[in-house]
Amino acid sequence: MQDRNFDDIAEKFSRNIYGTTKGELRQAILWQDLQPLLDRLGPGPLRVLDAGGGEGQTAVKVAQMGHHVTLCDLSAEMVARARQAAVDKGVIDNMHFVQCAAQDIEQHLESPVDLILFHAVLEWVAEPQEMLQRCGRCCVPAARCR
């Protein structure tokens, strides 16, 4: 198995997943869990990595809260869609975009991150344990897996 690149199905994915009630429900459940975590991590802006962030639904919302977000995705099409979403929502200045496999993001970060998000990405990665280990090296020393 190879890491799955969504360039060839980006439009279908957008329409059939996030453009449906199912997609709205996925986001609602995600935020039900993520919001309390963000609140606990502190009032100041966090440095967040959205690994395999796709179209940026989560990353943009985190950036709207004032956090600094790096979104990486293997798909150039998904990164372009995420960048456009950030422009549309007025948070482009709080975001950084990198087209790469999540396990290769370390070389693209200027400093360690406080939080890494892996929403619906691990099942599309050939070596998920390796990805988690490599991304884990990108965290601040006090970071924990939750």
Domain boundaries of the chain, sorted by first residue = 7-136
Selected residue with higher pLDDT from 135 and 20: 135
Percent of the chain at pLDDT exceeding 90: 64
Give the model's confidence band at 85: pLDDT under 50 very low, under 70 low, under 90 confident, else very high. Answer: very high
Give the model's confidence band at 112: pLDDT under 50 very low, under 70 low, under 90 confident, else very high. Answer: very high
Residue 56 has pLDDT above 90, yes or no: yes
Residue 22 has pLDDT above 90, yes or no: no
Encoding tokens for residue 71? 């979104």
**Helices and strands of the chain, counted as H and E runs:** 5, 4
User: Domain 7-136 sits in which CATH superfamily?
Assistant: Vaccinia Virus protein VP39 (3.40.50.150)
Give the model's confidence band at 145: pLDDT under 50 very low, under 70 low, under 90 confident, else very high. Answer: low
Torsion angle (degrees, nearest 10) of CA 85, 90, 94, 96: 30
Percent of the chain at pLDDT exceeding 70: 86
Enter the pTM of the model: 0.88
Q: At CA 64, angle to CA 113 and CA 106, rounded to 5?
A: 20
Residue 43 has pLDDT above 90, yes or no: no
